[in-house]
Amino acid sequence: MADFSCMYRHGFLRVAACVPRGRVADPAFAVHEHLELAAAGHARGVGVMLFPELGLSSYAIDDLLLQDALLDEVEAAISRITVASQELHPVLVVGAPLRRAGRLYNCAVVIHAGRVLGVVPKSYLPNYREFYERRHFTPGGGEGGEIAVAGRSAPFGTDLIFRSGGAVAVNFHVEICEDIWVPLPPSTRAALAGAELLLNLSASNITIGKARTRRLLCASHSSRCIAAYAYSAAGPGESTTDLAWDGHAALFENGEMLAESERFPPRSTFVTADIDLERLRQERMRTNTFGDCARAELSGAPFRTVPFALERPAGPVTLERVIERFPYVPADEARLAEECYEAYNIQVQGLSQRLASTGLKRLVIGVSGGLDSTQALIVAARAMDQLGRPRTNVLAYTLPGFATSDATKANAWELMRTLGVTGAEIDIRPAARQMLADLGHPFAEGKPVYDVTFENVQAGLRTDYLFRLANQQGGLVVGTGDLSELGLGWCTYGVGDHMSHYNVNASVSKTLIQHLIRFVAESGDVSPETATVLAAVLATEISPELVPAGAGTPIQSTQQVVGPYALQDFNLFYLTRYGFRPSRIAYLAEQAWGDETRGRWPAHVPGEDRRAYSREEIRHWLRLFLTRFFANQFKRSTLPNGPKISSGGSLSPRGDWRAPSDVGARVWLDELDAALPPGKSG
């Protein structure tokens, strides 16, 4: 329990991209600056530290690279760093010119725990525009064997993958500067061979616009390789005889830049990011074409594995990476607006195509005045606009039951009116009373028994009416239930809100749907009167309105039963999208939700919802989620059609999530209980 909060227990690795201050052709000064940064990285719990190309000699020193005195001192510098590394936790990857068999190579030297693990030469030597590397260096591509360095022999070649068998399991590969600028970087094959972390020591002088290109190269390469990519360039103190240097250091993961250093730094600096190795492994495992490509491309000479043991730091290391509270709702406003635009139009396009393909003219939808049916009705109205049909072809019904409030019914009617659809009302209470009486239910005798039968009679009748109305009117029933409800099984199976002809909300989480409604309200796509109604809907408590509230008691609250949707959407995303074990989901949830002041909140989240959750609360609701999720797979095995919307996936048995209906939750509950025993997780 003591180390549950340590990020290294949960598959993260802290990586640093370093920019040491330099001094032209002064290895002793370089050692001092490298070790100063290494000590700082050690104190921060860093696992791997990357330094720039030729950082021990300087890069832009031309023919001084061929001077024996300088090369001898570079080797002495490597020895000093190697000795110092015995007291340091991180793996150090430094740049140096090294001699081998009468040739000079531009090398990366990998050092850890008092020894040189291996040496990687630069594969591609630029000899164009301002670069003249072939004058001094031999290309390293295809080289292999050993090299003598720091008084010992070490593996040498571009075919090295460094693999930790310690508590911190990681596989990494090293390449140098130009290697990332070619059509097929050496790290591509290394990633296919299992390297998750790709390191690039660079010098990379700066010209206008070059930093933007670096970001594009590294981000896209990390995305194609489903890997983390670390990049470090030369900075202050490098020779400016003909060039300038911006000290650009950055870290990327699967297409996203996680961190970037200050450019043109006046002194030594480094930037860190906590790489999610388990996420990368999950992505590779489920992206089967990645493995297909590996089998096709790795038929030649195999990579050599360099074993070492990276252990966890002595004390727990707190995760510095910000975990989004809402995986379906980005905190960045511009990105949220773009994703809402896309989600809304996916819904409209999906429904328009389905209606056109059926040859039907009308849509039938039940409108409760709640979030889900509101969004579905907006989409239905917009689909009619797109098809060039009148909105009156949307047949919207409010179907009040025993617990329908005046406020939600009023919102439903006002929404139907302002959208210009055909509205009607059918009171389901007489039919519900008759059915309950036929069943011999105690409610028919006036007893306040509000069990699942009482609730599902109402939910089933609503859907039954909608399907028969569709038969009568020649229409298509539009589903309103959302992704979160499907994940929790919070829907009435078969003849209930589980079923429709086409469900536009099937891949929209409850946390996202609120922002979709707000997006539509502010988009100019609806009238000011409709926008006012939408604001009222957003302010309404989430409730199925199936159980009547007693005198002085609050209305039935969904979230009191199934848990806060904010947490349950978080759990749903990480279980289905990445397959993470429950203890890791709990750890991520604690990072995201343990402190309400940490990280950004999406716009428009009400103040009362900006709260923190304790570890015990997270564990409690996660356990409930797991129980409900697996127990309700049978509902997801028979879902109606609906468009996939989110990168978080859908739960359609024809899409992202396929599972047996009779699965149990024991394996997942046991894993959670073992990591966070009941009553001991506070």
Residues 6+ apart with CB under 8 A from 602: 326, 329, 330, 331, 333, 336, 515
Name the residues annotated as catalytic.
53, 122, 177
Could you give the CA distance from residue 614 to residue 158 in angstroms, rounded to a whole number? 48
Q: What is the dihedral of CA 628, 634, 636, 637, to 10 degrees?
A: 160
Hey, what amino acid is at 186?
P
Could you give the CA distance from residue 612 to residue 618 in angstroms, rounded to a whole number? 10
Cα 411 vs. chain centroid, distance in angstroms?
36
H/E element, 584: helix 582-593
Angle at 136 between CA 134 and CA 140, to 5 degrees: 65
Please state, as a whole number, how many other Cβ atoms lie within 10 Å of the Cβ of residue 13: 24
Phi-psi region of 479 (alpha: psi -120 to 50; beta: other; left: phi over 0): beta
Could you give the CA distance from residue 630 to residue 566 in angstroms, rounded to a whole number? 19
The encoded tokens of residue 471 equal 């038969």
86-to-27, 39, 112, 202, 656 alpha-carbon distances in Å: 20, 12, 7, 26, 47
Q: Considering Cα of 489, then 492, then 493, then 499, what sign does the dihedral take?
A: negative
Q: Are 618 and 593 in contact (CB under 8 A)?
A: yes
Beta strand pairing call for 394-398 and 422-425: parallel
Strand partners, 200: 175, 231
Q: Where do we find the tokens 């700082």?
A: 40
Please state, as a whole number, how many other Cβ atoms lie within 10 Å of the Cβ of residue 128: 8
Phi-psi region of 119 (alpha: psi -120 to 50; beta: other; left: phi over 0): beta
Could you give the CA distance from residue 368 to residue 410 in angstroms, rounded to a whole number? 9
Q: Are 85 and 308 in contact (CB under 8 A)?
A: no
The encoded tokens of residue 135 equal 């004058």
29-to-76, 351, 372 alpha-carbon distances in Å: 12, 67, 64
Could you give the CA distance from residue 445 to residue 436 in angstroms, rounded to a whole number? 9
Could you give the CA distance from residue 398 to residue 67 in angstroms, rounded to a whole number? 87
Phi, psi (degrees; rounded to nearest 5) at 267: -145, 180
Q: Are 488 and 513 in contact (CB under 8 A)?
A: no
Q: Are 153 and 117 in contact (CB under 8 A)?
A: no
Q: Where do we find the tokens 């000590």?
A: 39
Could you give the CA distance from residue 668 to residue 212 in angstroms, rounded to a whole number? 44
